[in-house]
Structure 1
Amino acid sequence: MKRRIRAIILMLLLFAGILIPTEYAEAVTGEEYDIVINNGTIMNPSTEHQLEGYNLAIEDGSIVRITKDEIKGKKVIDATGLIVAPGFIDLISYEPNSVGIPLKILDGVTSNLLMHGGTENAEAWYKNWESRGLAVNYGASSFITRMRWPIVGSSIYATMTNESDIEKLIAAARKNIEAGALGISFSFEYVPGIQREEVISLLHLAKEYDVPTFYHLRYSSSEPPNHGPKGIEEVIYYAEETGAAIHIMHINSTGGTFYMDEALQMIEDGVANGLDITTDIYVYDGWATYLSSARFNEGWQERFRITYNDLQIAGTEERLTKESFTKYRAIAGVLAYAHGSMPEEELLMALKSPYVMIGSDTIISGGNDHPRGAGNYARLFGRYVRQQKAITMMEAIKKTSLMPAQRLESVAPAMRRKGRLEVGADADITIFNPETIIDKSTVSQPSLPSEGVEYVIVNGTIVKNLDGLVKNVKPGQPIKSYFVDKSEENQPIPYNIILDATELIGTQDAYQLNDIVYLPITALKPIKKSLRVEANGEIFIDENIKLEVGNGSAYDGEVLMSLSHEPILYKGQVYVSLKALMEVLSLDYDVEAEENNLFLSTTDRTPAVDKDEADTEEKEEQEENKEDIGEDGRPSYFFMIAIAILLLGVAIIPYNRFKNKGK
């Protein structure tokens, strides 16, 4: 008897599944994802959406859903009151180590990239870190400083003018990029022997391979003629000569110091003239470097407008005198912090530029470090977003995630999936408290961890939670050039929209996801009077139709309608499934899809009925159905329970009759 009853109930549930809309059934039964992040403020810089009351699902290391539906996860993060952002990408960092990487994670960093410096042997470098494993993603550029050594020696003043020597350097750089290196890195101020001939030749290679080039500029002096803007002028010239992409590292300490307005204008003019130029800053008013470096050559006080006493040995309380400066300058590897060497008003000026992103220029290695290696990102959000309101939260997130990813997209396929919170993006996510995030590291204690970063997720694995760093997890992946990274990217499908069988009104890039074709919501622009996509996820079409990202319901005026699929964030836009798009368009057109064409017909399909009579009938029908339909336009629980009871009775009565007859 019990087995038969269970069979009947199972049959009823299966039958009820036919009656309940598919997406509603999924919401009730609940697909279980690897990780679900609930109730946070999801901020996606690629579309500039700020989504409240949404939930995010992660599966197999990728973001698979951003929705208003309740969803289930094997692990659930309650992000109430927290910001859910793409993981921060530290473009201007150094070699990973066991001290620095944990501090990067606590500062919200999910990718540690060596674009200031890098490696002379990419194949060996990547193999080493792949064998050891890291909790964050990692990658490196071709480090020209060291690549010159086998050819002209290690002297920083050695020049390379011999054509055969330059050809050897080009061949080495070519091999390095083909082995995975992400660009070409120069340090002109620290290696002044690097001159025009070799730079131009290397930039032709960069242009050929479409890889970015990175520069610590030649000049950072406050006094002409060899002042900061002259260093910017030099690299802009290289870009004009070769067409290569250039990135100026930490322009607030090298190139723009005391000339930030002029420096930013030079970059803006270069971009306006078709050049590919970006730059970065770290959010401090003092730089730091080794006392033995060329930066402290004769005349440094005048160049940087500082004195001996402005210098502090990082990791200590010691301020320098003339005597101690001389002593430490003779010792390799002693790093000094230059207090007050960069005006904060110039930092604020740079933060507002659309061409400026954020990079730390440091990784903590043990104590004699700049505090930016531990606190750069939390300081941006705590001091300059929350306290000073210098830029918006979205601008800061863009500068720490999307912009660094975009800088490397031409060479690194993986970066096209990072720096975003979209369907299909890598699940590199930083979740922080906007009210408490702040840096704690100082010049005397540069290894103090930041506060306010609550969770960090790398490739779908939690590496930091409310209890702190998660031990023994190493989900970080190598970020390599396209010569090595052959991962396939979802390719667009050209989709035509044709009106009245003759007029081609647009071709859109469609994409297929899980056997479902999606088109951008912008496909509606040529055929609708107005289309407005709001930052909160709402989409208004001709003001009377309302859709919403992550919501399977829509409104036509005051009438609620169900969509086949919820709109999604994808490829920097809002995408709608072809079926859902047809459902929206069918309100005004006859719609038919055939192959890669969407046909619209303006044939009048409205029956000739009296409007008042139709309105009255519609209201009466809505009143009759009110108890059976929920507020979201789907069958109410009471309605479904009533149907289930009815079906159960229909099934059990014949069974009882059969049983009694047998007696």
Structure 2
Amino acid sequence: MKFKEKWPLFFACAALSSCATRSPLPENLRELYKFDVIIRNGLVVDGSGKPGYPASVIIQSDTIAFIGEVDSTSTATLEIDANGKVVTPGFIDAHAHGDPIKTPQFYNFLAQGVTTICLGQDGSSDSKGEFGAWQASVDSVRPALNIAPFTGHGSLRVEIEAPFEEEISEADMAVMAEELDHQLQLGSFGLTMGLEYVPGRYSGEKELQALAKIVGSYHGVLMAHIRNEDNDKLEASLDEFLGLGQWAPVHVSHLKSVYGEGAKRAVEITSILAKYESLGYRVSADVYPYMASFTGIGIVFPDWAIPPANFNLVKKARRGELEEFLRNKIAQRNGPAATLFGTAPYAGKTLADLEKELGKPFEDILIDDIGPRGASAAYFVMDDSLQVALMKSDYVVVSSDGSPGMRHPRGYGSFGKMIETYTVQSNYFIIEQVIHKMSGQTAEIIGLNDRGLLKVGYKADVTIFDPENVKVKADFQHPHHLTEGFDFVLVNGKLARSNGEFVESRNGKLLRRE
């Protein structure tokens, strides 16, 4: 059955099961002469995972005021006919990147129906020790969507100039703890860790546990790019991070298995999450729907060739050993054709392309022309059947791990792809299920108590679209093409996108965790 053919079934089932939503306007709303917004004739998929139902939605100011039957005598300043479309909460990106001060429009996310993004990921946040001042700056530029900020563990380490060692002094630890406490008081949603990156990779158990206890005391969330995502290191890396769930909710960023294969392996991975949930921990993860990761090229270099090591000295003293390591590492990662650069002057070229262009082995290119800090790239190292099975898990929500400028289509296509590829084309998800993973479930994980659902009293972040019209235009050669088909997007009750066109007013907010 094609997706469109399901619509009569949706509406027929809704007519039988959603009587509670078909009540008339309450007295307090009847007295109003005109509403701010009425969305009529749509199929409301409210973000809870429950079946969709036909209803109209009334918005007053920035809040959902009513969901149900609205007669033709009721009018609004803005009326949207959603006939043949679904009306859903605005999507929430659990793991995103970008600078709301430099690029407050965030067109790449809005074009996908995303109305809230979580920033400060992988242990890196932008506040540079002045979190309150940074918040004020974001407030002043008024981003086009909502920002849920997190504190970066690596950034805290940089601020105190901690050594590249596991053991840091008690004095440094006290300063780092004090700053984390301060940012949580000001409304940070929790702490992110980049345990595979410098400087997070140098942190030890004692340090991470101390910070986790502080996050837990504020009911915040711990998010982590775990220590190692390679298939043979995955269990140990998950155990290290998920064990912190003793003190605070734990959320695995961009869950994947590099080199892992098959749906059976996905079951083994999610069973690790289940093990920690059985201990009473709050456990979750996010996944983006692409089979290539994206990060700095340093990911393929050995630990002894990246900071605090002096790379120039390593080249002289251990050149042969480094060449052999890189040859083996790139072969393990599906060869030089599976590394696609996203940084000028190499952007759009694979490591194999550069071999032909420069006429020398890729390991020499990596050592002499690029170095461990010289570029970022997409790495085609993930198995489709494994990653798709992870998406299906009840523990997993949707993220992009993308940004406006990143040379990877995930920043422009992740949420559209979940609709187009995995719901309409493949029927892997039903619409209510995928919307839940992109809205209500994510809101619950990060602690957004008034967003993520279409519910009276909740903030009016709303996306309206015909699932069959959603088309992802970004690919690896053209990563910055906007997704099409999300007709209307409202942020805090105001239009951000109307009939597929952007509205040049910015109505997002920097959110604070209560």
Q: TM-score, normalised by structure 2?
A: 0.81
| Amino acid corresponding to residue 212 of structure 1 in structure 2 | V
Task: Tell me the equivalent position of 1:416.
Answer: 449
Larger radius of gyration: 1
Task: Tell me the equivalent position of 2:341.
Answer: 313
Provide the rounded CA distance (Å) in 1 between the counterparts of 2:104 and 2:28. Answer: 45
Task: Tell me the equivalent position of 2:318.
Answer: none
Task: Tell me the equivalent position of 2:53.
Answer: 51
The Cα shift of 1:28 comes to 9.7
Contact 1:351 1:390 in 2 (8 A): no
Does residue 1:40 correspond to 2:42, yes or no? yes
Provide the rounded CA distance (Å) in 1 between the counterparts of 2:404 and 2:176. Answer: 31
Matching of residues 181-580 of structure 1 within 5 Å: 181-191=188-198, 192-223=201-232, 227-239=233-245, 242-252=246-256, 259-293=265-299, 298=325, 301=329, 305-314=333-342, 316-321=347-352, 322=362, 323-327=364-368, 329-330=370-371, 332=373, 334-339=375-380, 341-365=381-405, 368-409=406-447, 415-466=448-499, 468-471=501-504, 473-482=505-514
Q: Secondary structure at the match of 1:118?
A: coil
The Cα shift of 1:115 comes to 4.5
Residue deviations 1:377-432, cap 9 Å, x none?
A: 001110011111111111110111111111122xxxxx211000011110000112
The Cα shift of 1:169 comes to 1.2
Provide the rounded CA distance (Å) in 2 between the counterparts of 1:478 and 1:199. Answer: 27
Q: Secondary structure at the match of 1:312?
A: strand
Provide the rounded CA distance (Å) in 2 between the counterparts of 1:213 and 1:358. Answer: 17
Task: Tell me the equivalent position of 1:503.
Answer: none
Distance 1:328 1:112, change over 3 A: farther
Q: Secondary structure at the match of 1:376?
A: helix
Q: Secondary structure at the match of 1:104?
A: helix
Provide the rounded CA distance (Å) in 1 between the counterparts of 2:300 and 2:210. Answer: 25
Does residue 1:159 correspond to 2:166, yes or no? yes
Contact 2:104 2:143 in 1 (8 A): no
Q: Secondary structure at the match of 1:219?
A: coil
Contact 1:121 1:176 in 2 (8 A): no
Distance 1:276 1:78, change over 3 A: same
Task: Tell me the equivalent position of 1:78.
Answer: 81
The Cα shift of 1:56 comes to 0.8
Contact 1:314 1:444 in 2 (8 A): no
The Cα RMSD (Å) is 2.6
Task: Tell me the equivalent position of 2:103.
Answer: 98
Provide the rounded CA distance (Å) in 2 between the counterparts of 1:427 and 1:193. Answer: 43
Does residue 1:112 correspond to 2:113, yes or no? no
Provide the rounded CA distance (Å) in 1 between the counterparts of 2:289 and 2:409. Answer: 11
Task: Tell me the equivalent position of 1:497.
Answer: none
Provide the rounded CA distance (Å) in 1 between the counterparts of 2:499 and 2:452. Answer: 23
The Cα shift of 1:57 comes to 0.7
Distance 1:448 1:167, change over 3 A: same
Provide the rounded CA distance (Å) in 1 between the counterparts of 2:88 and 2:369. Answer: 42
The Cα shift of 1:347 comes to 1.8
The Cα shift of 1:139 comes to 2.5
Tell me which moved more, 423-432 or 157-166: 157-166
Does residue 1:87 correspond to 2:90, yes or no? yes
The Cα shift of 1:23 comes to 6.0
Q: Secondary structure at the match of 2:495?
A: strand
| Amino acid corresponding to residue 282 of structure 1 in structure 2 | Y
Q: Secondary structure at the match of 1:435?
A: helix
The Cα shift of 1:267 comes to 0.4
Distance 1:274 1:467, change over 3 A: closer
The Cα shift of 1:296 comes to 6.8
Provide the rounded CA distance (Å) in 2 between the counterparts of 1:432 and 1:88. Answer: 12
| Amino acid corresponding to residue 413 of structure 2 in structure 1 | G
Provide the rounded CA distance (Å) in 2 between the counterparts of 1:269 and 1:255. Answer: 23
The Cα shift of 1:435 comes to 0.5
The Cα shift of 1:330 comes to 2.2
Provide the rounded CA distance (Å) in 2 between the counterparts of 1:347 and 1:114. Answer: 23
Residue deviations 1:254-278, cap 9 Å, x none?
A: 7977742221011012112211111
Structure showing the higher strand proportion among its residues? 1
The Cα shift of 1:253 comes to 5.2
Does residue 1:174 correspond to 2:197, yes or no? no
Q: Secondary structure at the match of 1:148?
A: helix
Residue deviations 1:151-206, cap 9 Å, x none?
A: 344x6x43333222212211111111112211011100013111111101001111
Provide the rounded CA distance (Å) in 1 between the counterparts of 2:462 and 2:301. Answer: 37
Distance 1:278 1:85, change over 3 A: same
Task: Tell me the equivalent position of 2:308.
Answer: none
Contact 1:46 1:402 in 2 (8 A): yes
Task: Tell me the equivalent position of 1:67.
Answer: 68
| Amino acid corresponding to residue 464 of structure 1 in structure 2 | R
Distance 1:254 1:458, change over 3 A: farther
Distance 1:69 1:164, change over 3 A: same
Provide the rounded CA distance (Å) in 1 between the counterparts of 2:27 and 2:211. Answer: 59
The Cα shift of 1:32 comes to 1.8
Distance 1:69 1:247, change over 3 A: same
| Amino acid corresponding to residue 430 of structure 2 in structure 1 | T
Does residue 1:148 correspond to 2:153, yes or no? no
Task: Tell me the equivalent position of 2:5.
Answer: none
Provide the rounded CA distance (Å) in 1 between the counterparts of 2:252 and 2:259. Answer: 8
| Amino acid corresponding to residue 106 of structure 1 in structure 2 | A
Q: Secondary structure at the match of 1:438?
A: coil
Provide the rounded CA distance (Å) in 2 between the counterparts of 1:166 and 1:467. Answer: 50
Identity, in percent, stands at 22
Residue deviations 1:14-34, cap 9 Å, x none?
A: xxxxxxxx9699999984211
Provide the rounded CA distance (Å) in 2 between the counterparts of 1:392 and 1:457. Answer: 23
Tell me which moved more, 279-288 or 164-173: 164-173
Q: Secondary structure at the match of 1:455?
A: strand
Q: How many residues are paired up?
A: 444
The Cα shift of 1:47 comes to 6.3
Provide the rounded CA distance (Å) in 1 between the counterparts of 2:457 and 2:172. Answer: 45
Q: Identify unmatched segments of 5+ residues in structure 2.
A: 1-23, 304-324, 353-361
Distance 1:467 1:237, change over 3 A: closer
Q: Secondary structure at the match of 2:438?
A: helix
Contact 1:228 1:255 in 2 (8 A): no
Provide the rounded CA distance (Å) in 2 between the counterparts of 1:303 and 1:178. Answer: 47
Provide the rounded CA distance (Å) in 2 between the counterparts of 1:188 and 1:27. Answer: 52
Q: Identify unmatched segments of 5+ residues in structure 1.
A: 1-21, 410-414, 483-663
Contact 1:222 1:305 in 2 (8 A): no
Matching of residues 562-641 of structure 1 within 5 Å: none
Contact 1:314 1:443 in 2 (8 A): no
Provide the rounded CA distance (Å) in 1 between the counterparts of 2:35 and 2:368. Answer: 60
Distance 1:325 1:24, change over 3 A: closer
The Cα shift of 1:302 comes to 6.7
Contact 2:49 2:433 in 1 (8 A): no
Q: TM-score, normalised by structure 1?
A: 0.63
Distance 1:398 1:353, change over 3 A: same
